[in-house]
Every structure is written in C-alpha cells, then in structure tokens.
Amino acid sequence: MSDPTSTSSSTSWSPSWVPTTRDSKAMWQKGHITYETLWSVFKPGSLLIAFEDSHPWLLRCLRTGYEVYSTANAICHVYGEYTDFDGKTFGTTTQEFQIRQKVSLNGLHPGAINKLPIFPLVYWTKDEKKIDDLKRRLQVRGEAFKETDGVALRYYHGMAKHLREPPRNYYHASLEGSAGLWIGFTVHVASSPYIIPLLRRH
C-alpha cells in the first residue's frame, strides 16, 4: 500500500493540528485515522468506496476540504467522480460526501477508516480477486442501467428515497445525521431520470 500521507489537500487547519508522518503511518497502517488527518488517506486519483443502502459504489477521489460552521460542527468534504446519466447523455459527474466529526469520529480519538461514509478501496479489502469481482458486478449493473435509456415503462411498489438535497448554505439541527426521507408509495415511471437513479446503484 502506498503512503497516503503523500497526498496534498486544501484545509483550514493550523499546521499544529497535523501530526508527524510517523504518527500518521502508525494509525493508517492499523486502519485507523483521526479527524484532523482524514485528508492523508484520500489520495487524488485513488478509488473510493461508499455504500448506499448496503449497495457498493465506486468513485475516483478528486479532492478533500475541511469546513467549520458556527455551530461548531466540523465537516470534512470528500469529492469523488463517477459515471452517470442525466436522461440524455452519459458522462462523468461529481458527488460530495460529508464526514462529520461529531458523527464519524469523536474528538481527537482515532476511528476505523472502513466505518466512514466513504473511504479508500484499499481499506475495504486487500484481496485483488474480491476487488476484481466487485468491479465486474458494478460493470454489469451499469450496463443494466444503460438499457433504460430512451422511453421505458417500469412498475415499482414499495419504499422510495427522497433524494433532493438542501442548498449548501442551509443548516437546520434536525438534519444532523439524517440519511434522507423514506416514503412508502406506488409509482409509475415513464422514462424519468429522477426516479431511475434511485435504482442504478442497486
């Protein structure tokens, strides 16, 4: 495994918050990390893995950044790139993940990297065969999603997830740790790119 501390990231932290390289290595080699050193394992260009409703999702790391709000809620933003479909064209787009200090990592204590909302694929498994199998399954899933291009009628009965996100400058305490709103309903979809993305990663 290459040294993830070699990556650079734009942060607002004082240099005094960043531990020595030796201290960082001691943590990430054991699969642990502190909030202040999260940037060190997110190497731009590396593969990241996230799980959406227990389904795996691979992205390529673009960058990270720290932010502190007036509520003393510190957040590390991780930006990843992936292939998507907007209803007309297939291409790459970005997704932002938020790692909240109060939720994922408590204070200055280290936590498990593979328990974060998103983390480097190398911390999921070192088994190359398992990684190759995951990539093949995701490719098959992507090809199945591509077949929905054009006019397609689908019937679905069950739970659906409300995917609309509030503006970046909006904050409300009730949203802390929220994973989204689930609604039970029956829906008929006629080639809608707003509903199908809910199914694309499943």
Output 126 or 146, whichever has higher pLDDT: 126
**Which structure tokens are listed for 191?**
């080639």
Ranges of each domain in the chain = 4-149
Kindly write down the DSSP assignment for every residue of 25-37, as one continuous string: HHHHTTTEE-GGG
**pLDDT category of residue 158 using cuts at 50, 70 and 90:** confident
- Among 24, 124, 117, smallest CA distance to 75 is for 117
| Rounded Cα–Cα distance for residues 139 and 152 (Å) | 21
More confident site: 107 or 111: 111
**What pLDDT, on the 0 to 100 scale, is given for residue 181?**
46
Mean pLDDT of 31-35: 90
State residue 102's pLDDT score: 83
d(CA 142, CA 127): 23
**Global pTM value:** 0.67
Q: What mean pLDDT do residues 57-84 have? A: 87
Q: What percent of the chain has pLDDT over 70?
A: 65
More confident residue, 165 or 13: 165
